[in-house]
Amino acid sequence: MVAVKSAARTLRTSPATKFALAVSLLLGAGCSSSKKPTPVDGAAPTDGHTDTGTDVAGTKEDAGTKDAATTKDAAATKDAAVTKDAGAKDAGPGCTFGQAASQATASDLNLFGTVAYFNNGQPIPAGSYRLTYVDGCMKYGSGQGWTVNAYANGSDGWWLVGATTSDKILVLPGTVGYAPDAGAFSDFASCVAASLLSPPVTFTHTGGVGIWLQDSPYSDNTAGEDDRNPSWRLDGLECTDAGTPHANDAATGQ
């Protein structure tokens, strides 16, 4: 019995036994530990945990971008509204009150005696205006030349009139003369080109205005080619776009 105990004591205290016991203890400690290895080079953790730090930061950045975009859109919308409101506030009455031309034709020359009103016959506010020749010529007799006014004093010529033909305001711009090569022209196009060089006239009035040909008789006149009788445009001078060019006026560009 003493020999057996001595052998057992020798086995427990031998170097080989101690080494085996130490390894066993180390392995047991490793298996029982719940600690996970630290990720290498920023690798994602392997323990099923989600790193909320990155997601939270991303959400914050996304929110910032969204807020910035919203702010930018709101600012753009506000600026556009301000611009629109400013434009509406600054806009004044329209400058152009349209054109007026005689409706006379070869088959109805008496229409030269009918007043043709601007603004489609609607009332025109009192104020300052400019009249500009636009197009067209006529003849005061079959053997005469193409022209606008036969005489500068308007005894045979086009007038700007008020409510009635007796309310004659001024003689309308255009060529003056009735004989070819003496103010009138042998061809229609030359008459139009020369009349376009006539300077616009300005006037002040207190009521509606139109154009009217003072002449007698009308039956011996000749209407313009393709019924292009003399015509004029009426522009107001007391409005915001008074300086806007008008393409129809080759002479003044206004």
pTM: 0.59
Contact assessment for residue 56 and residue 50, using Cβ atoms and an 8 Å cutoff: no
Q: What are the sequence ranges of the domains in the chain?
A: 101-236
Q: Which residue has the tokens 């029982």?
A: 32
pLDDT in tens, the chain (254 residues): 444 344 444 444 455 545 554 445 454 444 444 434 444 444 444 444 444 444 444 444 444 445 544 445 544 444 443 333 333 333 334 588 999 999 999 999 999 999 999 998 888 888 899 999 999 999 999 899 999 999 999 999 999 998 889 999 999 999 999 999 899 999 999 999 999 999 999 998 776 689 999 999 999 999 999 999 999 999 999 875 444 433 333 333 34
Angle (nearest 5°) at CA 117 between 103 and 170: 105
Contacts of 59 (CB under 8 A, 6+ apart): none
Q: Rounded CA gap, 203 and 205, in Å?
A: 7
